């Protein structure tokens, strides 16, 4: 059996083209944004046609927000490979793919990932590669502190030389903005958001702020623990489940917290192997076992979400109305930044309900989510969703009319830095000669839990 290995961006891109070309009934690809340095941010969409013509729901999986965590992009590739190889003989998986579209981004922080492959001295780079702010010489932003979720309130740094530098403002970085814009256009049908990191062997659930709790906290814990049990059965490796403040450290501005805050009911961060011996420099002989156990955990969560949505007869819509989201985010940011909010996990539930009652009337925040699901077509999320769909249809038509020699050709056209676009690819007809990408991994470092 060929040993699994980490791949540089060139080979990941060629692999994405190959898997799309070989599985056109299941896989398509899209460019949905550009990095600071102008590279494509590309995803694979996995899904089968629904035999009843029913609207499909969405699962989001992303990897590689932190550049040095190479096992994360490796997992996204493994995840896609396993689904492609298994769905035709696994009736349960086939059913899920008929009801769900699974969007997978192997590398979000493309610039940072490329930089880690430059030489041994850059291997441990974590952040993006945006230019330093005025008066500084330090590049990059921690993209997992840049999302619009209680941004800048806890567990971040405003020093651009820090590994947890949160940027100049929420969503200031094109990579974070691309994810928020694209997923934000699908809020009315997105059920689950999984973001893959390393290390520590943890399953983290919202929220990173110690004084806020998700309204479905108990269910998030239960589903997370069920996933951890599945993971442990694969190779005996234990994974701890909890919020970041409970089992790691407080933080704000994470993609996981953003997803739950905007109404996606199930949102988790996976911190893959290991617990400190190798940390971000996981040896290649551990790629397969790490990915096998993570796949079991991810599939456990996705199966739960699917069964809850499609077994009850009522298809939940996760969206919060655009107005509610804007007001709620503003209120929470003010409360947290001014120190007004000082609550336990249980009392924060009551505070959440009271604020929603004041702003929106006498109903619970879960009812607000349900109203966002079935209510007005004039919501901000609905508008963005229709714009995305229209854009996809236009791009598909253009690609049918004009065959391009390579599916990544669109990345060469001029575009504003950080501009968010959605562009579905047709697989290339031919394969370029595979380029061997080599990197000598430097020695092991200790696990730096504070800046994971």
Best mean pLDDT range from 2-11, 146-155, 416-425 = 146-155
Give the residue among 105, 90, 97, 87 at the shortest CA–CA distance from 56.
Answer: 97
Give the residue among 406, 376, 388, 375 at the shortest CA–CA distance from 17.
Answer: 406
For residue 111, pLDDT over 50 is answered with yes
Q: 14 — phi, psi (to 5°)?
A: -65, -40
- Does a structural domain hold residue 152? yes
Q: What are 233-253's pLDDT values in tens digits? A: 999 999 999 999 999 999 999
| Residue bearing the bigger pLDDT, 63 or 344 | 63
| Total structural domains within the chain | 1
Q: What are 185-201's pLDDT values in tens digits? A: 999 999 999 999 998 99
Q: What are 252-280's pLDDT values in tens digits? A: 999 999 999 999 999 999 999 988 788 88
- Does a structural domain hold residue 235? yes
The gap from C-alpha 252 to its chain's centroid, in whole angstroms, comes to 15
List active site positions.
Answer: 271
- Does a structural domain hold residue 367? no
Average pLDDT of span 75-89 = 98
The pLDDT of residue 147 = 98
Supply 74's token pair: 């490796």
For residue 374, pLDDT over 70 is answered with no
Supply 68's token pair: 């040095």
Supply 57's token pair: 């729901």
Task: State what percent of residues in the chain have pLDDT above 70.
Answer: 68
- Does a structural domain hold residue 3? no
Q: Work out the burial of residue 286: count CB atoms within 10 Å of its CB; fewer than 13 is exposed, 13-18 middle, 19 or more buried.
A: middle
Mean residue pLDDT of the chain comes to 79
The pLDDT of residue 322 = 42
The pLDDT of residue 291 = 97
Tell me the pTM.
0.75
Q: Work out the burial of residue 56: count CB atoms within 10 Å of its CB; fewer than 13 is exposed, 13-18 middle, 19 or more buried.
A: middle
Please name the helix (run of DSSP H) or strand (run of DSSP E) that holds residue 272, with its range, or none.
strand 266-272
For residue 224, pLDDT over 70 is answered with yes
Those residues with Cβ within 8 angstroms of residue 77's Cβ, 6 or more apart along the chain or in another chain: 7, 12, 15, 106
- Does a structural domain hold residue 255? yes
Evaluate whether 201 touches 239 at the Cβ level (below 8 Å). yes
- Does a structural domain hold residue 246? yes
Structural domain boundaries enclosing 302: 9-318+381-443
Please name the helix (run of DSSP H) or strand (run of DSSP E) that holds residue 399, with its range, or none.
helix 380-401
For residue 15, pLDDT over 50 is answered with yes
Q: Within 10 A of 24 (CB to CB), how many other CB atoms are there?
A: 10
Q: What is the CATH number of the domain that holds 37?
A: 3.40.630.10
For residue 288, pLDDT over 70 is answered with yes
**Does residue 199 have a cis peptide bond before it, meaning omega lies within 30 degrees of 0?**
yes
Give the residue among 161, 298, 145, 268 at the shortest CA–CA distance from 206.
Answer: 268
CA–CA dist 190, 260 (Å, integer): 11
- Does a structural domain hold residue 110? yes
CA–CA dist 422, 182 (Å, integer): 8
The pLDDT of residue 186 = 97
Q: 196 — phi, psi (to 5°)?
A: -105, 130
For residue 319, pLDDT over 70 is answered with no
The pLDDT of residue 385 = 45
| Residue bearing the bigger pLDDT, 174 or 339 | 174
Evaluate whether 310 touches 357 at the Cβ level (below 8 Å). no
pLDDT grade for 3, boundaries at 50, 70 and 90: low
Give the residue among 69, 133, 168, 339 at the shortest CA–CA distance from 156.
Answer: 168
Average pLDDT of span 310-323 = 51
For residue 397, pLDDT over 60 is answered with no
DSSP track, 11-42? HHHHHHHHHHHH-TTTEEEEEEEE-TTS-EEE
- Does a structural domain hold residue 168? yes
The pLDDT of residue 4 = 77
């Amino acid at each position: 059996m060929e040993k699994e290995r980490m791949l540089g961006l060139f080979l990941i891109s060629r692999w994405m083209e190959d898997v799309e070309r070989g599985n056109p009934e299941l896989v398509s690809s899209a460019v949905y944004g550009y990095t600071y340095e102008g590279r494509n941010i590309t995803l694979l969409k996995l899904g089968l046609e629904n035999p009843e013509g029913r609207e499909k729901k969405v699962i989001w999986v992303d990897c590689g927000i932190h550049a040095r965590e190479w096992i994360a992009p490796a997992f996204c590739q493994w995840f896609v490979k396993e689904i492609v190889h298994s769905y035709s003989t696994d009736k349960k998986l086939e059913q899920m793919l008929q009801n769900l579209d699974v969007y997978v981004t192997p590398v979000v922080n493309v610039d940072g990932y490329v930089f880690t492959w430059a030489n041994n001295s850059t291997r441990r780079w974590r952040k993006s590669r945006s230019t330093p702010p005025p008066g500084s010489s330090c590049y990059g932003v921690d993209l997992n502190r840049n999302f619009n979720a209680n941004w800048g309130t806890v567990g971040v740094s405003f020093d651009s030389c820090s590994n947890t530098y949160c940027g100049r403002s929420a969503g200031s970085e094109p990579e974070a903005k691309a994810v928020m814009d694209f997923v934000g256009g699908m809020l009315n049908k997105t059920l689950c958001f999984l973001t893959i990191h390393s290390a520590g062997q943890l399953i983290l659930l919202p929220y990173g702020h110690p004084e806020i709790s998700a309204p479905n906290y108990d269910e998030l814990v239960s589903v997370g623990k069920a996933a951890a049990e599945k993971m442990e059965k694969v190779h005996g490796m234990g994974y701890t489940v909890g919020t970041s403040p409970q089992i790691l450290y407080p933080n704000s501005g994470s993609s996981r917290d953003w997803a739950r805050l905007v109404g996606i009911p199930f949102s988790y961060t996976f911190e893959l192997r290991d617990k400190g011996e190798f940390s971000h420099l996981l040896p290649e002989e551990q790629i397969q076992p790490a990915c096998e156990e993570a796949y079991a955990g991810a599939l456990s969560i996705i199966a739960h979400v699917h069964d809850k949505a499609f077994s009850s007869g009522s298809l939940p819509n996760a969206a919060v109305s655009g107005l509610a989201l804007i007001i709620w985010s503003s209120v929470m940011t003010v409360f947290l930044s001014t120190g007004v909010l000082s609550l336990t996990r249980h009392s924060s539930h009551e505070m959440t309900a009271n604020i929603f009652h004041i702003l929106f009337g006498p109903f619970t925040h879960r009812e607000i989510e349900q109203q966002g699901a079935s209510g007005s077509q004039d919501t901000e999320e609905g508008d963005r969703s229709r714009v995305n769909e229209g854009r996809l249809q236009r791009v598909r038509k253009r690609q049918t009319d004009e065959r391009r020699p390579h599916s990544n050709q669109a990345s060469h056209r001029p575009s504003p830095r950080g501009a968010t676009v959605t562009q579905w690819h047709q697989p290339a007809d031919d394969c370029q000669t595979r380029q061997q990408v080599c990197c000598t991994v430097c020695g092991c470092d200790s696990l730096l839990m504070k800046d994971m």
